[in-house]
Structure 1
Amino acid sequence: MRQFLTFIKKEFSHVLRDRKTLLILFGLPVVQIIIFGFALSNEVKNAKIVVVDYAKDDVSRQIMNKIEASRYFELEKRSLAHHEVEAGFKEGQIKLAVVFPANFGADLLHFNRAQLQVIADASDPNLANTLTNYLSTIVMDYQLALNENQAVPLQIGTEVRMLYNPQLKGAHNFVPGVMALVLMLVCVMMTSISIVREKELGTMEILLVSPFKPVLVILSKAVPYLILSLVNVASILLLSVFVLDLPVKGSVLLLFAESTLFIITSLSLGLLISVRAQTQQTAMLISMMGMLLPTLLFSGFMFPIENMPKVLQYISNAVPAKWYYIIVKSIMIKGLSLSAIWKETLILFGITMFFLMVSLKNFKIRLA
């Protein structure tokens, strides 16, 4: 028994001396609880909406105040024209718009019925459904409060219009998300083990004494995966068009150009991991766990980024998949041109240059 306790004490000593093991044992649960408790929620909060008020009466103002007081919505502007609302949807600045027609309050009080219009960005059908349900509930609560002292009940109808995806097909949301996820994982994982494999097989010495410059060695590792990933993009688009009935509304050439940029971004990150890692197992683990969770959590594909705390929203800006996801939805679903996505394109380009420069700087031309 004493020997058994001695071995237990020895194992405790090994664990307590290993900082990496302690980090996994105690740090990982804390991080997961914080992320899953605060960041990941299907409940929508602080969604940006606008109000087009042609009525400008007491009833419309009271409904607007109830909307603004709700924690589900963040009122951007109160008075816009229809063409400004459309521009806001295209740029992704707003998720919902409420339109009060002229004489809204007068129709409600004199004819006991009035109609308002709700316009939602249905490129994410789940989000659009949730927001319209929240808004309808707020309007219904206001209607019930009005009818407490009314002999004849007043009725406020809501006409819902879904932009970009009137049939509320799920493919409009998951195809761009799957494209970002597949390209990120495949490119990073495949390239992350390329240079490490040369080190483990002992062939890196041959490459280093060859006339090739280090930059050419790195680029030669990335080019095959770039071509194969473009084939992946083509196959995903063909399946989405002919199987899922999701046509590309924008420029296919622009979509391929943006996909090429994102592939290069992912390859650059994979090369950086490959340069820094010492074994293929380590590189594989970093690329899988280090890229899968950020892509799922912070790209906006599965969980709305607006729901997350400000700190995590800032962190999401460093995830390349977030910007590519926005780009693909803008081109495929909304049919927008480069003028609408130049900001996201510039950010992806900057991230790519950063990864490439760090990879080249950390590439060792000597093994010892």
Structure 2
Amino acid sequence: MKQFLSFVKKECFHIWRDKRTLFILFGMPIVQIVLFGFALTNEVKNSQIGILDMSRDEASITLANRINASRYFDLVTNLQSNTEIDAAFRKGDIKMAIVFPEHFRESLLHTNTAQIQLITDASDPNTATTLSNYASAIIGDYQDEIMGQNKLPYTITTQVRMLYNPQLKGAYNFVPGVMALILMLVCTMMTSIAIVKEKEMGTMEVLLVSPLKPIMVIIAKAVPYLLLSIINIISILLLSVYLLDVPIAGSIVLLFAASILFIITSLSLGLLISSFTNTQQTAMLISLMGLFMPTIIFSGFMFPIENMPLPMQVISNAIPAKWFYYIVKSVMIKGLGVEAIWHELLILTSMTVVLLTISIKKYNIRLSQ
């Protein structure tokens, strides 16, 4: 055991002296959590709009002010005619135009019916749909307010509750995905490169003639990345809570335990890659390019897996990040316990056992040659 700890200590010193490796290990999580948390968000905020108010009465002005006060909209122009609407869309000045007809308040109070036209730029259909939904919600709230207790007969109202994320913040979705992406890439890539580097430089043979068993030498090289990845988890969670306002609703102990399991799964995958490759460049390409896109596409945090064709849904089951993403969302965002994620934990454990078994057998074959 003392010899094993000495090897781990030696690897830690190697990593500490390599400033580029340290930058990747600690810089990548910070950059990605900030980038995904602020820049790459599925929320639609501060969208530029124009308002054509042909009524200019109390109701239309009040409603226009409420829409402008929302964080989703930014009123950039008060339009004067329908021709200005077309011109504003062609120039790209606005993404939505709101048109109040003449006698808006009078129609609303006397006939209980008034129309508002929402014109959106549907060249981006998702944004157009989202903007129209936001505006419709504000208009609906105003309608309920002025109706008060004088409800029309047979009026159907809809009550909506947003569980776990009532403000619909995109960070609630991206933080679990970024955790899975960072841990998968860092652990797998750095572990595979560290081991292949020894083989490429010819120093692996020197390590293997030590009193320590060969497989323990390999594991000793992976342990420092386990410790550094735990530090990464702590930094990601701190940034999430204090920078992105994403709370940890569930057990932090369970979250750390699941994260460590996923780290070991990723390290096992890195060991497997290193057993099949002989150059750092090849290991990096396989780890980075071969895992980056599958993790983003098949983990579920950017693209819903249930919307994919059945063959692609089957393929996604082989991606460890998919199961870890679900675990983090369940524990961190929903506040669920182990009874809700035992199935995913079992899958990750099985993946780890399989990957470690294949890696050890592969190394034993290579070392015996």
**What TM-score does the superposition give when structure 2 sets the normalisation length?**
0.58
8 A contact 1:191–1:225 mirrored in 2: yes
The amino acid that maps onto 2:208 is L
Offset at residue 242 of structure 1 (A): 1.1
Q: Could you say which residue in structure 2 is the equivalent of 1:183?
A: 183
CA distance in 1, matches of 2:366, 2:340: 42
1:82-97 to structure 2, matched below 5 A, reads none
Q: Could you say which residue in structure 2 is the equivalent of 1:305?
A: 305
Q: Could you say which residue in structure 1 is the equivalent of 2:321?
A: 321
1:4-19 to structure 2, matched below 5 A, reads none
CA distance in 1, matches of 2:281, 2:246: 38
Q: Residue 244 of structure 2 aligns to a residue in which SS?
A: coil
The amino acid that maps onto 1:248 is I
Q: Residue 158 of structure 1 aligns to a residue in which SS?
A: coil
Q: Report how many residues are paired.
A: 229
Offset at residue 288 of structure 1 (A): 0.5
CA distance in 1, matches of 2:310, 2:169: 30
CA distance in 1, matches of 2:220, 2:366: 16
- CA deviation profile, 1:292-350 (whole Å, cap 9, x unmatched): 01100000010000010111101100100000000000011110111110000000000
Q: Could you say which residue in structure 1 is the equivalent of 2:203?
A: 203
8 A contact 1:181–1:296 mirrored in 2: yes
**What TM-score does the superposition give when structure 1 sets the normalisation length?**
0.58
Q: Could you say which residue in structure 1 is the equivalent of 2:357?
A: 357
The amino acid that maps onto 1:197 is K
Offset at residue 211 of structure 1 (A): 1.9
CA distance in 1, matches of 2:368, 2:347: 34
Q: Residue 341 of structure 2 aligns to a residue in which SS?
A: helix
Q: Could you say which residue in structure 2 is the equivalent of 1:366?
A: 367
Q: Could you say which residue in structure 2 is the equivalent of 1:160?
A: 160
Matched, 1:296 2:303: no
1:275-290 to structure 2, matched below 5 A, reads 275-290=275-290
Offset at residue 366 of structure 1 (A): 3.3
Q: Which runs of 5+ in 1 are unaligned?
A: 1-41, 43-125, 137-151
CA distance in 1, matches of 2:154, 2:296: 45
1:15-164 to structure 2, matched below 5 A, reads 155-164=155-164
Root-mean-square deviation (Å): 2.8
CA distance in 2, matches of 1:155, 1:180: 46
Q: Could you say which residue in structure 2 is the equivalent of 1:100?
A: none
- CA deviation profile, 1:185-228 (whole Å, cap 9, x unmatched): 10011011122111111111112222221220121011000000
The amino acid that maps onto 1:206 is V
Identity level (%): 68
The amino acid that maps onto 1:189 is M
Matched, 1:243 2:243: yes
Offset at residue 154 of structure 1 (A): 6.0
Q: Which runs of 5+ in 2 are unaligned?
A: 1-41, 43-125, 137-151
The amino acid that maps onto 1:240 is S
CA distance in 2, matches of 1:208, 1:307: 49
Q: Could you say which residue in structure 1 is the equivalent of 2:228?
A: 228
CA distance in 2, matches of 1:263, 1:192: 14
The amino acid that maps onto 2:217 is V
CA distance in 2, matches of 1:153, 1:294: 54
8 A contact 1:187–1:263 mirrored in 2: yes
CA distance in 1, matches of 2:157, 2:330: 31
- CA deviation profile, 1:145-193 (whole Å, cap 9, x unmatched): xxxxxxx996432211100011111111000010000100100110111
CA distance in 2, matches of 1:219, 1:165: 41
Q: Residue 195 of structure 2 aligns to a residue in which SS?
A: helix
8 A contact 1:187–1:270 mirrored in 2: yes
Q: Could you say which residue in structure 2 is the equivalent of 1:114?
A: none
Q: Could you say which residue in structure 2 is the equivalent of 1:219?
A: 219
Q: 192-201 or 220-229, which moves further after superposition?
A: 192-201
- CA deviation profile, 1:54-93 (whole Å, cap 9, x unmatched): xxxxxxxxxxxxxxxxxxxxxxxxxxxxxxxxxxxxxxxx
CA distance in 1, matches of 2:366, 2:350: 26
CA distance in 2, matches of 1:286, 1:212: 29
Shift of the 205–367 alpha-carbon distance from structure 1 to 2, 3 Å rule, reads: farther
The amino acid that maps onto 1:157 is T
- CA deviation profile, 1:236-269 (whole Å, cap 9, x unmatched): 0011111111110101111000000000000000
The amino acid that maps onto 2:158 is T
8 A contact 1:208–1:365 mirrored in 2: no
- CA deviation profile, 1:272-299 (whole Å, cap 9, x unmatched): 0011111110000000011101100000
Q: Could you say which residue in structure 2 is the equivalent of 1:117?
A: none
Q: Could you say which residue in structure 2 is the equivalent of 1:107?
A: none
CA distance in 2, matches of 1:272, 1:349: 16
The amino acid that maps onto 2:298 is F
- CA deviation profile, 1:34-63 (whole Å, cap 9, x unmatched): xxxxxxxx9xxxxxxxxxxxxxxxxxxxxx
8 A contact 1:306–1:313 mirrored in 2: yes
